[in-house]
Structure 1
């Protein structure tokens, strides 16, 4: 992998990981459309770690509070709003872990195609449009109940299908449940932290058991570029959501889906 390819893929990962536009879809497209080689396990670990560092850095105050409250609830039996939210984040992560354990190979074999991305981009874009247009927007993430956490977690699991978007799916369900747009985005960011950590550890184990040599320059570029882009992206996404709602991302998803359909038909 060249430094240019590493930079572009890391840029894509950083810009799309936390937007409701599907990072997995955008990372699949260069190999399909441009003929780029698969980036490999080591690079996947690198860009996952870059985006993880970005969201933890951006939400460092919230993460510190939630982690402290979580461990106090275990070792000191202290109950607080932060501890409850931390447990809801754990609960929301469980469905994706279960779904990934049983469905990962099936998705890799049968659903990593441009047609699947095309359909899911449009369908989930329209669904986000409908939910965003009718959202009540009257509760924040601290009002998350076990039922809400599981429902959002189930939609996060559904986002393993390329083109669905983890951020888009979780925000869609959160808006449907009555979260404000900002709270839906923040909760989506927070539940990404354990999930990306687990995914990074899983990929890291695969890398440790692999005999493929690691090219360190692209890895360094991947971590750095994905971190910077993701950090900036989180900031601007929250600003856009509070002023314009989800409409820019809905329009982008639908245009992407239509463009891909045209590309497939004329190729």
Structure 2
């Protein structure tokens, strides 16, 4: 991997991890379409670290508040809306964690293809458009219940299919349940912290147990570029989402999916 490829892939990871357009799809496409070599396990760990740092630092006040309330609910048996939300975020992580353990190898072998990405990009893009236009968007994240959190967790598990988009499917599910765009995005981003932590830890353990040589220059590029781009992405997405809605992302997904089908048909 060259430094240009590392910069480009980290930029893709950072900008697409939290937008409803699928980061996994964009990271697979350079190798599928441009013939670039796979970025490798070490680089995957690096960009996970970068995007995780971005969401934690951006939501640092919320993270501290939720962690403090969560610890208080266990140690002092004190419960409030923050502790409830923290427990619901943990609950929403369980389906994806279980699916990752059970189906990761199957998905890696059979579903990491441009055809699958093209299909899911369009299908879940249309679903996002329909939900955004037809749901009553009035609830905030503190109106979350355990049933709704579990529903969002199941949606997050579906994002293991390349092209689905973790943020896209969880925001879609939250909008369907009647949450505002801002609340849906915030809860989706907070949900990402434990699942990215688990995924990064798993990849890091695999890396530690392997004999893969590490280029720290490329890894540093991945961490820094993915962190900066993810932080910028989160900031502007939350600022603009109420006014622009989901339509621009739906249009992008439809164009991307159509372009992929055209390329696959003539390749």
1:240 Cα deviation from its structure 2 partner: 2.1
The yes-or-no answer on 1:229 pairing with 2:219 is: no
| Residue in structure 2 matched with residue 76 of structure 1 by the alignment | 76
Instruction: Please give the TM-score of this superposition, normalised by the length of structure 1.
Output: 0.99
Superposition map of 1:24-173 within 5 A: 24-173=24-173
1:212 Cα deviation from its structure 2 partner: 1.0
Structure 1 runs (4+) deviating above 3 angstroms are none
RMSD, aligned α-carbons? 0.5
| Residue in structure 2 matched with residue 253 of structure 1 by the alignment | 253
Instruction: Please give the TM-score of this superposition, normalised by the length of structure 2.
Output: 0.99
Structure 1 CA distance, aligned partners of 2:262 and 2:2?
Answer: 30
Deviations 1:116-159 (A, max 9, x none): 00000000000000000012111111111000000000000000
1:49 Cα deviation from its structure 2 partner: 0.4
- Name the SS for the 1:251 alignment partner: helix
- Name the SS for the 1:173 alignment partner: helix
Structure 2 CA distance, aligned partners of 1:25 and 1:260?
Answer: 11
The yes-or-no answer on 1:217 pairing with 2:212 is: no
- Name the SS for the 1:139 alignment partner: coil
Deviations 1:185-221 (A, max 9, x none): 0000000000000111000000000101101000000
| Residue in structure 2 matched with residue 2 of structure 1 by the alignment | 2
Deviations 1:24-73 (A, max 9, x none): 00000001111111111110000000000000011011001000001110
